[in-house]
Amino acid sequence: MDKLIIEGGVKLKGEVIISGAKNSVLPIMAATLLTDDACLIKGVPELRDTNTMVKILRSLGKGVEFNKGMVTVATLKNTNYVADYKLVSTMRASFCVLGPLLGKLKKAKVSLPGGCIIGVRPVDLHLKGIKALGAEISIDSGYVLAKAKKLKGTHIYLGGVYGSSVLATDNVMMAAVLASGKTIIEAAACEPEVVDLAEFLNKMGAKISGHGTPTIEIEGVKHLHGATHTIIPDRIEAGTMILTALITKGDIIIKNVLLRHLGALIDKLEEAGVNIIKTDNSIHVSYKRPLKAVNITTLPYPGFPTDMQAQMMSLMCVTPGITIVTEKIYPDRFMHVAELNRMGAHIQREGPHAIVEGIEKLSGAPVMASDLRASASLALAGLAASGKTSISRIYHLERGYENIESKLEKLGAKIWREKE
């Protein structure tokens, strides 16, 4: 197993191109299960998670080729309906094969999911929506078993304790496209990745409207055909690179960006005193003057994204003043706090809040990544810290950031791998 070594204190400069969105490509790959025709997906990032989804699709009877950012999916045989524990348990997003398997084959057996350890993330909303469409659901030996003679469109409310669920919206939407009649999903997730999936499904012949709003309408169709689609840029990678420029006091041009997906982050950074130069598909961020502390509250899109909370906390650790971070999506998503404190940060956890007292400089230290975004926050802290930082369990980082080391190296970072 490798660990990542970072020698901090370098002002990063240059240009970086953002990859396709991880949280978009995984359900879109799963959606290919809804058709026997070939599909071509472009702009696919080379990630641990995308490679896992390739393996899952192959196990379900698909022929999959993944080369130079393009995934081609074709049906080789009658699709298997069992998504195995060994694959699904490694990646939560793989649970979204439930909807398309049920929609196409009227039966599915999918292992309960795994992924990052960032608190309880139940699948109750997924099952609630699938049941509403007419499926019989049972759980046996760690597997969800779903079957239905026929799925029927209905009115579904998908709001949860902490708001809407992206994956549940994806799963129910994919199950509903081949159901008879109209389905209305209320309290649907509005994230750009949900919109991207809906656009792909519509290219396949689905009839979906309202995506990007809390109410999605789906008119069921009898079958779907193949389609070609290009994945949207990863807004979380883009946001991470923006913060990389700021925390290293650098100057970075970030290309392949959709500005409309970054509104909450940009608004918060402008409140902190950052001057961001924007064009149609790029952002120029440079550190001009000391920033000021700003409070952060994570909310469903278009609010401040929970997937940017840890990285923003790293920036606030070296920003003068007091910051209060409130996590309203995953209240236990603070695994990075202890590790940042090991680097000299002053952070105190109070339930779903973290109180950050900004200091002048972090110090390099051995730290351990607990989840995907926590690993990104530790990398940011390491880039800004004095001395060397070693980050263990970097397989988390590989799940969501394509070629992150080479991208940072091209910007001037002193970063390399060593064996544990």
pTM, entire model = 0.96
| Model pLDDT, residue 120 | 45
Contact 64, 71 (CB under 8 A): yes
Check for a shared fold between 2-19+233-419 and 22-230. Answer: yes
Secondary-structure percent of the chain, ordered helix, strand, coil, rounded to 5? 35, 30, 40
| Model pLDDT, residue 84 | 85
For the cut 90, the answer to whether the pLDDT of residue 332 exceeds it is: no
For the cut 80, the answer to whether the pLDDT of residue 343 exceeds it is: yes
- pLDDT category at 90 given cuts 50, 70, 90 is confident
Average pLDDT, the chain: 95
**Tokens in use for 19?**
């990859």
| Model pLDDT, residue 93 | 84
- Which class is domain 22-230? alpha beta
Specify whether 116 is catalytic. Answer: yes
For the cut 50, the answer to whether the pLDDT of residue 116 exceeds it is: no
Stated as kind and residue range, the H or E segment containing 30 is helix 22-31
pLDDT digits (tens, 9 = 90+) for 293-320: 999 999 999 999 999 999 999 999 999 9
**Which 3 state secondary structure label does DSSP give 33?**
helix
- pLDDT category at 114 given cuts 50, 70, 90 is low
Q: Does the domain formed by 2-19+233-419 have CATH 3.30.360.10?
A: no
Which residue in 157, 126, 158 sits closest to 144, CA to CA?
Answer: 126
Query: Above pLDDT 90, what percent of the chain?
Result: 88
Which residue in 248, 251, 286, 287 sits closest to 414, CA to CA?
Answer: 248
Domain ranges of the chain: 2-19+233-419, 22-230
For the cut 60, the answer to whether the pLDDT of residue 107 exceeds it is: yes
Given 96, 116, 190, 317, the catalytic residue: 116
